Amino acid sequence: MIHRWTSSDRSAIRQLFEPFDKARALILPAIDQNRCELWVDSLEFPSAAMWRLKNLCALAGDSTSPSAYELISKIEPRQAVFVCSEDWTDLLKSSWGSRLGSQKRTRLSPDTLDIDHLRKLMQTVPEDFVLERMDLDTVKSLDKRVAMHIPLFYGDSESFYNNGVGFCIKHQGKVVSSASSFAPFTDAFEIEVYTSNDPIYRRKGLATAVCAALIVYALERKLVPHWDAANEGSIALALKLGYTNPEPWEIFYLHPES
């Protein structure tokens, strides 16, 4: 039998998720800030747990727990699932069979980031373009269809302005590229990048410059800016910024019943 964790003391649950490397900057702050839903196999001595934040899930602890399958049963189709051990991966495979889907991702290391190199990249913004930190009016003006993380994880523009951080490049007053914290954070965050699809804004180094600005902001404040890539273009950009050691991993999800 599984139970929803409602105690304000989440230290025992946090310990179960400590082994996470990938998605760590999403999982742990949500636990610390009481922003996520937690399910456990025992309220007294939890040994296995499921973490959920909006459309994201994570499984941690002892995959041999008698309640492990029940925890997995709480996951809904198309929710992204993070695991940190092969044991949980194997359990997902046996639970979902042919309905198991996966998405390839690439994690890069921030340990080699060079702030001087990044400051130089910030200077590459073309004439007639302005690089600046987002103010509240700018956040409100963003097309939330391309900045979906703001309403999804922050709730509204004011919450993002108060609990997140973002930089943008403007052309004629319009945001054409941006880099921002994906979700509320404590000492580390995932980076969300956007550049307009309009051909006139491509191949100008806009994403490079705006990401460099966000990363410099983080490094100056002892924050860790994590980079997780979904495609080769994102990997190339990360390497240009100074990230190294690309490491492939997978996010899992459950296909809906046909």
Domain region containing 83: 3-107
Task: Indicate if 119 and 235 belong to the same structural domain.
Answer: yes
Task: Indicate if 127 and 93 belong to the same structural domain.
Answer: no
Task: Indicate if 26 and 142 belong to the same structural domain.
Answer: no
- Asked whether the beta carbons of 214 and 134 are under 8 A apart, the reply is no
Task: Indicate if 226 and 145 belong to the same structural domain.
Answer: yes
Asked whether residue 256 is domain-assigned, the answer is no
Quickly tell me which residue has 């073309």 as its tokens: 126
Q: What is the pLDDT of residue 113?
A: 99
Asked whether residue 150 is domain-assigned, the answer is yes
Total number of domains in the chain: 2
Rounded to an integer, the average pLDDT of 151-178 is 97
Integer CA distances (angstroms), 20 to 41, 206, 214, in order = 19, 32, 24
Show which of 57, 82, 107 is a domain's final residue: 107
Q: 213-240: per-residue pLDDT in tens? A: 999 999 999 999 999 999 999 999 999 9
Task: Indicate if 128 and 230 belong to the same structural domain.
Answer: yes
Asked whether residue 248 is domain-assigned, the answer is no
Asked whether residue 254 is domain-assigned, the answer is no
Task: Indicate if 7 and 64 belong to the same structural domain.
Answer: yes
Task: Indicate if 155 and 72 belong to the same structural domain.
Answer: no
Show which of 88, 107, 126 is a domain's final residue: 107
pLDDT at 144 over 90: no
Looking up residue 59, the CATH number of its domain turns out to be 3.40.630.110
Percent of the chain surpassing pLDDT 90 = 98
Q: What is the pLDDT of residue 60?
A: 98
Q: What is the pLDDT of residue 75?
A: 98
Predicted confidence band at 145 (pLDDT cuts at 50, 70, 90)? confident
Give the span between the Cα atoms of 220 and 79, in whole angstroms.
Answer: 35
Task: Indicate if 101 and 118 belong to the same structural domain.
Answer: no
Predicted confidence band at 202 (pLDDT cuts at 50, 70, 90)? very high
Q: 66-122: per-residue pLDDT in tens? A: 999 999 999 999 999 999 999 999 999 999 999 999 999 999 999 999 999 999 999
Task: Indicate if 67 and 124 belong to the same structural domain.
Answer: no
Task: Indicate if 92 and 131 belong to the same structural domain.
Answer: no
Residue type, 55: N
Q: Which residues contact 233 (CB under 8 A, 6 or more apart)?
A: none
Looking up residue 197, the CATH number of its domain turns out to be 3.40.630.30
Asked whether residue 251 is domain-assigned, the answer is no
Helix (DSSP H) and strand (DSSP E) numbers for the chain: 10, 12
Asked whether residue 160 is domain-assigned, the answer is yes
Task: Indicate if 156 and 117 belong to the same structural domain.
Answer: yes
Q: What is the pLDDT of residue 4?
A: 98
Give the span between the Cα atoms of 52 and 75, in whole angstroms.
Answer: 9
Asked whether residue 258 is domain-assigned, the answer is no
Asked whether residue 210 is domain-assigned, the answer is yes
pLDDT at 174 over 90: yes
Show which of 107, 131, 160 is a domain's final residue: 107
Q: What is the pLDDT of residue 258?
A: 79
Task: Indicate if 90 and 122 belong to the same structural domain.
Answer: no
Q: What's the mean per-residue pLDDT of the chain?
A: 97
